[in-house]
């Protein structure tokens, strides 16, 4: 590990600024709100809003529907720190830049992360509008945020990814969904770099690998979270069938339109989970 660790110094500087902006708030639960799912942040009470660009060393979000700000306040009686939008590799960010906000909220005391996104369904038993809890993932981005010397200064570089998606949190999420009558699946998520949607041949290959859903985020965040010991719950909104399934040809507009129709159930589900953490 180098004596001069730029990543560690940058995180400390970012945390100082964000801590000042949050005041006395001490968040313990982190939320990452993916494509079309950002409106949940508007339900956070007594909120402080901090745009990514106002935090030193943070990249800004350029993706459609991603506001690109931290929102800290109260949800279901708990202090949460939400990312209203995320950073993606397809925007030109490195793996460490994608992971940076996860390491940053951990610096502020967040020990549990709920990460959400919109995803395409490879599993043909899924329906558009379903929610899917991630039981595991296949990182097909070709990248890992812990690669290099500097992340080793945050936590030891070799760590297990067994149960990366916490089984107890999944069980809680299923229980809440059952009580609310919200349809929830469970499956393996495959994340890739994007920004092009997958080809039908790729989808056939991913199905053979055991993937149930596919999208362009999450994996690098979860690797970073597990690197520093955070508990993770991952949940996708099935916004479309993957390319070639039932003749599907996904579009960004379709993803956002479906998210709008599921906004209320998404809010009920996440709020119910947070309430019981």
* pLDDT tens digits, one per residue of 150-194: 999 999 999 999 999 999 999 999 999 999 999 999 999 999 999
pLDDT of 124 higher than 60: yes
Q: What CATH class does 6-275 carry?
A: alpha beta
DSSP string, the chain: --SS-HHHHHHHHHHHHHHHHHTT----EEEEE-TTTGGGGGG-EEEEEEEGGGSTTPPPP-STT---EEEEEEETTEEEEEEES---GGGT--HHHHHHHHHHHHHTT--EEEEEEEEEE-STT--TT-EEEEEEEEEESS--TT-SSGGGGTS-S----TTSS-HHHHHHHHHHHHHHT--EEEEEEEEE--SSPPPHHHHHHHHHHT--EEESSSHHHHHHHHHTT-EEEEEEEEEEEPTTGGG----HHHHHHHHHHTHHHHHHHHHHHHHT-
In this prediction, residue 2 carries a pLDDT of: 54
Domain ranges of the chain: 6-275
* pLDDT tens digits, one per residue of 78-109: 999 999 989 999 999 999 999 999 999 999 99
């Amino acid at each position: 590990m180098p004596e001069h660790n730029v990543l560690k110094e940058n995180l400390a500087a970012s945390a100082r600024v964000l801590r000042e902006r949050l005041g006395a708030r001490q968040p313990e639960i982190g939320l990452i709100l993916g494509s079309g799912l950002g409106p949940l942040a508007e339900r956070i009470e007594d909120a402080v809003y901090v745009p990514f660009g106002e935090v030193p060393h943070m990249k800004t979000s350029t993706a459609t529907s991603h506001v690109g700000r931290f929102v800290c306040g109260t949800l279901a009686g708990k202090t949460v720190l939400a990312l209203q939008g995320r950073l993606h590799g397809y925007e030109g960010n490195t793996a460490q830049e994608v992971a940076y906000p996860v390491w940053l909220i951990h610096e502020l005391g967040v020990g549990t992360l709920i990460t959400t996104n919109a995803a395409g369904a490879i599993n043909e038993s899924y329906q558009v509008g379903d929610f899917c809890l991630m039981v595991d993932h296949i990182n097909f981005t070709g990248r890992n945020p812990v690669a290099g010397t500097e992340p080793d200064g945050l936590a030891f570089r070799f760590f297990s990814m067994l149960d990366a998606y916490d089984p107890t949190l999944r069980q809680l999420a299923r229980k809440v969904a059952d009580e609310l009558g919200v349809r929830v699946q469970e499956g393996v998520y495959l994340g890739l770099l994007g920004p092009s949607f997958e080809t039908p041949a790729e989808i056939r290959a991913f199905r053979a690998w055991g993937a149930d859903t596919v999208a362009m985020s999450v994996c690098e965040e979860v690797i970073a979270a597990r690197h520093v010991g955070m508990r993770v719950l991952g949940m996708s909104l099935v916004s479309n069938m993957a390319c070639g399934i039932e003749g599907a040809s996904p579009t960004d507009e379709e993803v956002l339109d479906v998210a709008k129709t599921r906004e209320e159930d998404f809010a009920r589900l996440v709020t119910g989970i947070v309430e019981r953490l």
